[in-house]
Amino acid sequence: MRFGVLGTGMVGQTLAGKLVSLGHEVKMGARQAGNEKAQAWVASAGPSASAGSFAEAARFAEIVINATAGAWSLEALTAAGAENLAGKILIDVANPIAPNSGMPPQLSFCNSDSLAERIQRTFPASRVVKTLNTVNAAVMVNPALVPGRHHMFLCGDDATAKSEVAALLVSFGWPPESLIDLGGISNARGTEMYLALWLRLWGVLGSSPFNIRVVSNDF
């Protein structure tokens, strides 16, 4: 498959690297074609890796991943171009962290809205799936870093898109039974607001990879 990974930070590089290792073709998108971090990644990642502008990465891709900083994601996706995103699965892994909001940081918006909903509203022809935003980059692509059973959430309005994303997560190492479908895209409010607890657990646990397991008699 051809993936466009928008974002050159830790999350973008980690996801792009994993996709290449799984045999996919990946174009990393940045604000400007020729971005240094993207070029360095291409040099290290081999012939299936390439880089370009947000628009070039989105145009290239069959599946687009938003791994930009949440505060700038709508701007980045607008630069990518609605016409280059139309009809495609758009995996949103970002959290709308408010810049300069202290430590632990706050969200730019939440509760009555979410980044994933804003993206779906702004790009109604795209098939937005929210997932992976509840763990750090290393765990996203290597869930076995966290021992035993733990869960990954996904939500979105397009059931077929969610199935394809679930299969992608399984290819990353997430066991099928670890995936919890929360329903439509508005449920991203739940996983984005969980960031407030995640940040505090991170404060307690330090650098140790962690995640949560939902525990019940049925689950």
Told to check if 126 binds a copy of itself by CB under 8 A, we report no
- Helices 73-80 and 115-122: crossing angle, nearest 10°? 20
Rule CB under 8 A: choose which of 22, 33, 82, 193 binds a copy of itself.
193
Q: What 8-state DSSP symbol labels residue 97?
A: B
Stretch that binds a copy of itself, among 44-52, 57-65, 141-149, 169-177 (CB under 8 A): 141-149
**What would the x/- binding string for a copy of itself be over residues 88 to 107, using CB under 8 A?**
----------------x-xx
Stretch that binds a copy of itself, among 33-41, 44-52, 57-65, 181-189 (CB under 8 A): 181-189
Cβ atoms within 10 Å, residue 160: 10
Query: Would you say 81 or 104 has its CB closer to a copy of itself?
Result: 104
Give me the residue label for tokens 């980690």: 14
> How far is 160 from 157, CA to CA, in rounded Å?
9
Query: Would you say 19 or 97 has its CB closer to a copy of itself?
Result: 97
Buried b (16+ CB within 10 A) or exposed e, 103-133: eeeebebbeebbbbbbbbeebeebbbbbbbb
Contact residues for a copy of itself (CB under 8 A)?
104, 106-107, 110-112, 146-150, 153, 180-183, 187, 189-191, 193-194, 196-201, 203-205, 208-219
